[in-house]
Structure 1
Amino acid sequence: MVAKKQKGKSKTTPRVGRPNKINSVNVREALIQAGVSLLETTSLEEISLRKVAAKAGVSHVASYHHFENKHALFSAIAEIGFQKYFEAYQIELQKTEQDFKGRYRALGWTYFQFIMNNRQFARIMFGGMGVESNLSPTLSSVSRRTYRQLHEIIRMGQNLGYLEKGQTREKTLASWAMIHGIAMLFLEGRLQMKNDINEMEKFIQTVTEYAYNGMKT
């Protein structure tokens, strides 16, 4: 005897455990965006996975399916920060001559503006906060791009005769140290921002020019 099939739609038993791949991606993205949103109102020290999960509208337990701790979340946020920085540099580059001096000045001004306008991002990207880029291949790659970007500009200056040839790595690090250092002095309040944005830009460009003037032939 063959058993009769029941009429109507068969009931399905809901899956228990981790969300499927599509939902998993959505949850991870929601957590990252919630973390980015919290940066606007909450200090880094006060941000926790529990707060991020609540902001994203997911359970605290679900957050651990995607991030081991808040530093792992910060790594994902740092990746977004670097992408925002690169996009800002491309926009700034369109406003100037794309020769050596134009690229060098655009990079210095973009770097400074990004840090001052995205202070929480900057602290995650450049200030530590327990973020270990070597544990995240994607973050490690995107963070090294900032160095390679400046390294290429320095090499360009050397090839065009603006800078003395040789010790490209040392010249790149010296430039980065000066640009990053001046940004940190403002970020930490040791130097005060000027009210006029044009004066501020002129000041930063003057500082960056001192950096490459010392490397001239």
Structure 2
Amino acid sequence: MVASKKKSSQKKPMGVGRPSKENGMNVREALIQAGVELLENTTLEDISLRKVAAKAGVSHVASYHHFENKHALFAAIAEIGFQKYFETYQKELEKTDQDFKGRYRALGWTYFQFIMTNRQFARIMFGGTGVDVKTHPTLLAVSRRTYRQLHEIIRMGQNLGHLEKGNTREKTLASWAMIHGIAMLFLEGRLQMKNDLGEMEKFIQTVTEYAYNGMK
């Protein structure tokens, strides 16, 4: 009978260059959080992995264990942003009627409100960041979900007789362009936010109503 080997009580050394992080947050999460924070007051052009790593409290070399360049980091931030948006939309649905008009209005208001309250994510999700979504399958899938979500609502309206049938894709794109365009005008400061949130919601819903009425 072969004698069993005793397990060494010594801990294995960490791999060379492999970073660690305290308080339960791993390095990848810390880098993403640092990137989000930098986006609040730094232009996309001025952000670099070196700056993100410094803010996260890890070495520049450590950042390359998780992201090959800043565009890969942007892709990860955008993916989280889309997930946050979908969670927000589901909560908004709980406060409205589960019919076509209710869903359509909820999506418009959620989309606008998310962009205005999560500007750092919006700049990555909808801006020209140089990220090729085709090289990031998970980001591509989650970003397409936004279109599919609106497409399903438009199709619901057609099936229920609220909207004229046909050209579903074109009507989806028209609705998206209307909602996104208004949000961008406010985001860029071309339109000023109203002080009262209720008035703001009413304004956005009026805009979405015009989009809806044009498709009847």
TM-score for the superposition, normalised by structure 1: 0.88
| 1:15 Cα deviation after fit | 4.6
Aligned equivalents of 1:39, 1:102: Cα separation in 2: 33
How much has 1:176 moved relative to structure 2? 0.3
Q: Which residues of 2 match residues 1-40 of structure 1 at below 5 A?
A: 14-17=13-16, 19=18, 26-40=26-40
Distance 2:9 2:145 in 1: 54
Q: Secondary structure at the match of 1:45?
A: coil
Residue 213 of structure 2 corresponds to residue 213 of structure 1: yes
Query: Does the aligned pair in 1 maintain the 2:53–2:59 contact within 8 Å?
Result: yes
Matched, 1:139 2:150: no
Q: Is the 8 A contact 2:18 2:65 kept in 1?
A: no
Aligned residue for 1:114?
Answer: 114
Shift of 1:53: 1.0
Deviation, structure 1 residue 13: 7.1
Asked which structure has the greater CA Rg, the reply is 1
Shift of 1:125: 0.2
Q: Post-superposition shift, 1:184?
A: 0.7
In structure 1, the gaps of 5 or more residues are 1-8
Partner deviation per Cα, 1:100-156 (whole Å, 9 max, x = no partner): 000000000000001111112111100121122111000000000000000000000
Deviation, structure 1 residue 65: 1.8
Measure, in 1, the Cα distance between the counterparts of 2:164 and 2:56. Answer: 52
What is the aligned length? 207
Between 28-37 and 206-215, report the one with greater CA deviation.
Answer: 28-37
CA-based RMSD of the aligned residues comes to 2.3
Secondary structure in structure 1 of the residue aligned to 2:192: coil
**Which segments of 5 or more consecutive residues in structure 2 lack a partner in the other structure?**
1-7
Counting only pairs closer than 5 Å after superposition, residues 17-166 of structure 1 correspond to structure 2 as 17=16, 19=18, 26-166=26-166
Question: For the residues of structure 2 that align with 1:167 and 1:204, how far apart are their CA atoms?
Answer: 24
* CA distance, structure 1, for counterparts of residue 63 and residue 35 of structure 2: 12
Q: Could you say which residue in structure 2 is the equivalent of 1:179?
A: 179
- The CA deviation at 1:27 is 2.0
Please tell me whether the aligned partners of residues 40 and 119 of structure 2 are also in contact (alpha carbons under 8 angstroms).
Answer: no
2: distance between equivalents of 1:98 and 1:139? Answer: 28
2:168 is aligned to 168
Q: Percent identity?
A: 83
Structure 1 CA distance, aligned partners of 2:16 and 2:9?
A: 22
**The residue matched to 2:52 in structure 1 has which SS?**
helix
| Displacement after TM superposition at 1:41 (Å) | 4.3
Q: How many angstroms does 1:98 deviate by? A: 1.1
- Quick check: 1:44–1:120 contact (8 Å CA) kept in 2? no
Q: How far apart in 2 are the matches of 1:114 and 1:40?
A: 15
Q: Which amino acid aligns with 2:18?
A: P
Checking the alignment, whether the CA contact within 8 Å between 2:31 and 2:63 is kept in structure 1 is yes
Distance in 1, matches of 2:176 and 2:193, equals: 20
